[in-house]
Structures are given as C-alpha cells and as structure tokens.
Structure 1
Amino acid sequence: MADRAAIDTIKGYFYQFDQSISQLLTLTNDTDTITVEGIEDIDISTATDETAIQCKYYSKTEYNHSVIAEPIRLMLNHFAEYKNGNARRIVYHLKGHYKSGHHKLITPIDLAFLKTHFLTYTRTVKKVKTTFEHHTELGLNDTILKEFLTVLVIDINADDFESQFKNLISNIKTQYSCSDFTAEHFYYNNALRVIKELSIKKHAKSRTIRKVDFLNLIDTSQLLFNEWFIERKGKKTHFSNLRKEYFTSLNVSPFNRLFVFEVTPSIYSRSDLKELLFIISKKWSKLTKREPRPFCPYVYIHNIDNKELIELKKELASEEFICIDGYDFNGADFNPLSITKKADHTNQIKLKFINELGFIDDILKVAKGTKYVYQFYLQKPFYENNEPSIKHIKIQIGNMENIKNII
C-alpha cells in the first residue's frame, strides 16, 4: 500500500511538471514567463494577463466537491487580497483528472453552488462540529463573489497522465521538428531537469523563467542522466531505448567508432573495465577472413592512472588480446597514422587505445571514412568536437556499469 501511495505521489509531481512544460511551450511571446510553485502550482505572466494554475492528478479517486473546496477557498483568499489592493488581479485555473464522479459538477457554477459546496464547510472545534462560511469570514458580499466567479475556471476533465505526456511530446516535436526519440530523450529530459531545479529554489523570483530562456536551456545535444527522467521511464526501458537508437544494427558498418568514457578512480575495478572493453570489441569489430572491410573500435579512458593503463595493456597482451596505441617503438612519438592502420584477420587487432585526450582530434583528422564518437560522461562532457562530418553522441551515465547496459 505504501509503495502504491509513493508511486501515485511521484506521478502527481510528474503530472504537474509536465503541465508546467506544456504551458511554457504554448506561451505566445518569448518574454512571457511562468513561475513554478508561485501563488499556485504554475503562475503564468504575459503582457496582458496573469494566470495561476493548480493541477491535481487523482486517477484512482472519485470526484467530490470537497476535494477541490479548500484550493478554491485559498484562491478566494488571494482574490480578497486583490480587492483590498494588496495583490494583483489574476485568473485562477483549477485543473484535475479524476477516475469518476465528473457528473457531479456542471460548469459554469453559480453563486449559490459556490457558497454551498465550496465556501461552506464544517470543522470540529473543541469537540463541537461547527459550520463555517469562508466568504463571511473574509467579509465578502455577493457582488464580490460574482466577480470572483468570472476569474475562476474549473476543469475536472483534464487529460490523464499518459495523454498529457503524449500531447507534450507532440508539441516538442512540432517546436523542434524532431523525432519521437529526440523529443523525449533530449528535449523532454532536459525540460524536466530545468523545471525540477526551478521547483526547489527558495525564492519565487528564482522559480520564474521566460519562454526564450527555457527553450535555450533545453536545446542541447547532451543526453542527460536525469534521475527524474530515469524514474519515469525506468532504467531498463531507458537503456533499451538508447541501445535501440544508437547501438543496434543488423549489419555493423565498417566505420571509425571511438568509445570515449571515464572512470572514477575511487571505485575503479580493472576486471569491470576489462569486461566493458571485451564487450565493445566483440560488438564493434569484424576481423574474419571473409570480411571485405575489417575494422575494430578505438577507446579512450578518461581519468585512468597512466601506470594502471600500462598494467591493463600488459594484462590484455598476456591474454593474447591484441591492441595498438599509435606508438611504433620504445621512445617513439605518438603517430596517428600508426593507430589508424587497418585491423584485419591477419593482425587480429581488437582494440585501439587512445592514451591521451589530445590525441583524439589527431586521429579523427587522418582517419578515413565515416566517424562516430560515443562519449559517456559522469558530470559534464570532457571532450568537444564540432566538426559537422563527425557524429558526436554525448550520453551522461550514473556509473561505468551503465555503459554495458546501454551498448
């Protein structure tokens, strides 16, 4: 029961975050803003209007007036402040999704309905059940309540969780003219991160963002390891989608593939690293006699100690796992032409080690044919290459183990 309740709570957060992203994408002007967790869940400010939206997701709950009564009373509190000259005028939206009970509310509601079902409530005071009229406590007459109704919009037929998400991805695809995968794994992933970071900032001003700034922040070529995105997708599904998009092919082409990743020295394991290297070599090499264009991949390991790299190579050599690194003899300088020599059935070169980060560009300059760089990073990318002819894929990972699950 507790687990289901936690899942429902997390779903509610996602529902609100997705609504925030949707509202930003549909703003008319680049300078229009939203505030996350402002007066309500989402406050929208344009040149002409101020709107406060509260959105709730109750997919397993029947609608009853009492569910939305308190939020409406809180909205009336703000409206009373506006009438007293202490707050700006805004339009209040209450959006909710419910399992059933929609027939109980017929909109637009009138004054009598507002008073009876939303503003009048009972509470036990000193063991005595007492009836309160919220509008009376605020000193608001019928004229003011009628005015409040003109700025109150109630929608209990909001999209369900999946429909809202599907529409959001469709909007992102339209905004950026991109595929489903790119819309979800790049733009939505980044958008979710931006909204989540805004939501935890202390001051309302810091939780406010313009549409143009939001669009710039989410327009990045990096695939983030966003814990909230992973929570939504599930690790298994997330890794499967990445593998399907970038690392699955019935016929592996003879391209120059550079696998660039980093290790964390404090938790480094040579056996784990070797396992990853064997997987990369096995999946991205073709060295048979019948292969007309044999090939093998390059690897660069960021943050590995130089002495450990030497010991790793020695161990691989002792296991007759043949690698080259661009050094032709003891004392020689690095030679990019040497490391780009063709691997084939005769020499059985299974991996090409790139010893230093600066060598990557040298190799890419002399390598012939199609070039792919797959960069797996922990916190931020450590290698950049903007050459349009090179496919550079940047994927953030939680740890090195994730690479095996992705490729």
Structure 2
Amino acid sequence: MGRSADYTIQGFLYQFNQTLSELLKAADDAVITVEGIVEDIEVKTFSGTKAIQCKYHETQDKYSPSILYNPLLQMMKHFKSNSDAKIQYHLFAHFPDNPSITISPAELNSALSSRNKDLKVLIAEVAGVDIDGFLKVFCISVTPKYDDLVDDNTKLLEELGFNKGEVQTLFYPNAIQIIADLSIQHNEQLRTITKRNFLETLRRIRSTAVSQWTLALKTRQKILETRRKQLKENLNANVRLRHLVIFPAFLEQFDDQIVLFIKSFIDKYNFKLSHTLTPIFALDVSQVEIDEIAERLIGKDVIPNLGRPVKTFSENYFFREAMVQKDKKEFVLRFICWSDYKNLTHKVKADDIFVIGEGDTTGVDAKDVNIEILGAEKFEEIKYMMGICNAY
C-alpha cells in the first residue's frame, strides 16, 4: 500500500490544516510555531520530539471514551518506555457532534482495566505506567470536520488576495507543503514563521508541490494535471540538459519499473539526433544495483555510459560526448550512483534537475539550475507529469 493511502497521512494533513488555519487568521507579525510531526506511535519513518495520533470519526454515532482507548494505551506504552525523553503526546480527535472531551486519570484507568480482548496485550505492556506523569505531557484537541477545515482554508487564501482559479492547484497544496517542510525541523526555532513571511513565500511559488502530502489531498488529479502543464514547456525543448535523481525508498515497484521508466524517458526525450545533450540518471542505490540495472537496460537496447572504460571510474570518460554512427548514438544516457553523482565536478550545469521520489538533496549545487521535485510514489504518475504518457 502506498503511503498516500495510509490513514496516518490524513492525520498529519489534519494537523497541517489546523496550523494553516491559525496562520491565515493570525496578525501579520504574529510568530507561529509549527508543531513537529515527530514519530507517530504507528509510523516509524518520522523522528523527533512529538508523538501524534489523529482519530477522525466522522461517521461515529456518538462519542464514548472507549473509542480512544487504543491510541491512549499506545501513547502510554510509548511514554512508559521513554519517560525521560521529553516527548509531548497530542491526540487530535473528531466526532460528528463535536463533544467536549476530557481525559483524566479516570478515563486512563478505565482504559487500563478494559476487558476488550483486542487490547489485552497492550494493557499488559502499559501496566504500572505513571498516569499523572503522562497527563503532564499529554493533550487532546477536538477538531472540526476535515472537509470543512479545508474549505475554510481555501476561502481564507482567496480573501487574502490569492487568485481563486489557482488556489486549489497551486497555493493551497503549496501552503500545506510549506507547513510539512517546517514540521520536520528538529530545532523548534526553525519551525517558527510569521504570517507575513509565510504569505510572501507562498506568493513567490509558481510550481505546484508534488509530495506524499499534496498527493494525499482530494485534489490529487488536478495537482497532477497542473504539474504536467507546468513541466511541458521545458520538456518540449530539444536542446536542454536534464539530470534525473531518483530515490527508490518509497517508489512503488521500483525494481520492476525502473528500466521501463528510463527507456520510456529516452524514447521520448533523447531519441533524435537533435537531442544533443545526454541526460544523467543518478540513482540512490549501490554500485552493484547500478550495474544490474545497466545490464537490463542494455538488454532493452538502451545503452548507458557508466564512466568506466573497463573497471575504474573516469570522470572524463563519463562526460565525453557520444559518438554517432549514421542515426545511432553510442550511448543515450549517463548512469551513476547518487553518492558518486554528488562528488562529480560538473563541467556544464544541468538546465533541469528532476528529483523523483523523496530523499535528501542537500549539497547539490542548485544555483542557476531549475529544480523540479516530483515526490510521487507511482511511476505511472511520474510519467504522466513528465509527458511520457497520457494516462496514469
């Protein structure tokens, strides 16, 4: 299952939308600290100093404390093992009738004495927890309906002067992305922003953010279509140097799809003799995996230049121009590990660097280079945005 389908993503989006609401309603110079999306009890891919659970019960008939026993027990279990870690535990909850919810020692003791068989193991693990200590680092917030919160935020953006026709596909998703980027900062000072600076940053952005967050929004299809239009002009240019940096960690079916993706890109954007600038593909994999993928590419008659005349890497060999015999190029792409790519002495800077997947691009010289972040998780969506195919 892709991460955008994971319900925990919706929990984080809920939090981001609450933060956005506070920002848009604040005074221009008010300083807002974005809550960190630290390690969720059930999601181990995030790290930090705040543990979050979001329980969204839009269809629940009425509120009962027992509905929250599972997340409360999970948080208490984590607290018991990390009582000195200075972790704050936040529970965001929504119910149709928006009840006032109070979590006191009585509710926690009820959770610990529950006879629910599904909670038996968890209750045993939490036995002996310091309830009073936990309550000092715990808070719960009752929140409005998700769709209502999103609608309110888009209306607020329009009222602040953002073009109504671009709010859903440009400004709103980018607002969520800015907040998400701030939230992963470990230093609290780096998670602060004023409304004025936030709006100034948002107004300068002219390309739609594509990430696990924005593609989890209900406007996913519109975002993909908009991003495709934004990329079209540069991709249609015959003479343009393109580097593609690919992080496989969260890409679905990476091993099955990577060769087909590279071939489809070459067939679209580097098959003419007028395509004189050879693209570089830098993959965040081992050298052994690079060699295996290269062998598979050769089997598809897509010839890569790995920068190795025999065994040792040569930067001069890597950057040499491909020989052309009649209508066939000696090689059609340069192929390299991400770790080696970062150490290259680029004689000519790329016009575009496409970052596919999600990874750390710190250290890449982006001055005078057009960076395109495509944080989708499906190759079909990436190919659609890049104009390689017309459907996804």
**TM-score calculated relative to the size of structure 1:** 0.48
Say which one has the larger Rg. Answer: 1
| Structure with higher RCO (Cα < 8 A, 6+ apart) | 2
**TM-score calculated relative to the size of structure 2:** 0.50
